[in-house]
Amino acid sequence: MNFKSKNPFLTNKSFSATTASGKEQVHHATVIDYDQEMTLSGTINKTLLLFLLLIASAMVIWWMAFNGTNPIVPTIGGAIAGLILVVIAAFKPQYSPYLAPGYALFEGLFIGGISAIFEAKYPGIVIQAVGATFVTFAVCLGLYRFKIVKVTEQFKSVVVAATLAIATYYLISWVVSMFTSFQPVHHGNSMMSIGISVFVIIIAALNLFLDFDRIEKGVQEKMPKYMEWFGAMGLMITLVWLYIEFLRLLSKLSSKD
């Protein structure tokens, strides 16, 4: 069985190709020339652009929050709008050149609001979470680039299973806590809660390897040019997840002081 990244973008069927006659690889959806193929440099450039858009949007909400504006509304609105764009792009990846920048801007509202809320309660936590996220990304990229960590089928299956387990646990905990007084184990600052956060961060980091692998294969299989936006958007989703989990872990550790 071929397991792939659980990132909703990098598992999309648009990242698949079929073998044509001989050794030529042809994408299912369209015939493309060499100037319209997905490239690694193009994906990197678009990832950087999305990152800059996200930071710019986050800084606006950050500034507003620390100048007396309640960030709750734009934070929630950004999260909902970002999710809608993710769902659309997952089914219509050819629209990614338009959807990905919009996602980065709306997700920036969410990140900026969440960061401001955490920073107000735990001063200095945001720069720590940002640093931890970038260090984790750099380490994972280096390990993948130099083939120290190889994305085998067994590796994929373990990461996918763990990611599904986390998603299921979060979903069940959220539903149960809505209708009962039950407090999920991952809430609070107990050693169990901290341990869960560490585990989730590890799994999020491992998902980066799967994302790198799918982007590399997309380049090798000569996917259409718009898949650069699609791949960049998917990678941003994983990085946002990783950043949020670092915020949660650091807040638990800070609350124990």
Domain-located, residue 121 = yes
- Per-residue tens of pLDDT for the chain, all 257 residues: 444 444 555 555 556 543 334 444 444 444 445 568 999 999 999 999 999 999 999 999 999 998 988 889 999 999 999 999 999 999 999 999 999 999 999 999 999 999 999 999 999 999 999 999 999 999 999 999 999 999 999 999 999 999 999 989 888 888 887 777 767 777 878 899 999 999 999 999 999 999 999 899 999 999 999 999 999 999 999 999 999 999 999 999 998 76
pTM over 0.95? The answer is: no
CB neighbours (10 Å) of residue 3? Answer: 17
Give the chain's domain count. 1
Domain-located, residue 73 = yes
Domain-located, residue 72 = yes
Domain-located, residue 12 = no
Could you tell me if 88 and 67 are in contact, meaning their C-beta atoms sit under 8 angstroms apart?
Answer: no
Could you tell me if 207 and 6 are in contact, meaning their C-beta atoms sit under 8 angstroms apart?
Answer: yes
Could you tell me if 5 and 11 are in contact, meaning their C-beta atoms sit under 8 angstroms apart?
Answer: yes
Q: DSSP character for 8?
A: T
Q: Where are the alpha helices (DSSP H) in the chain?
A: 40-65, 72-91, 96-121, 125-145, 153-179, 191-220, 227-255
Domain-located, residue 142 = yes
CA 169 to chain centroid: 19
Domain-located, residue 103 = yes
Domain-located, residue 98 = yes
Domain-located, residue 183 = yes
CA dihedral 167, 170, 171, 173 (to 10 degrees): 150
* 65 exposure class (CB count in 10 Å sphere: 0-12, 13-18, 19+): buried
Question: What is the domain extent for residue 133?
Answer: 37-255
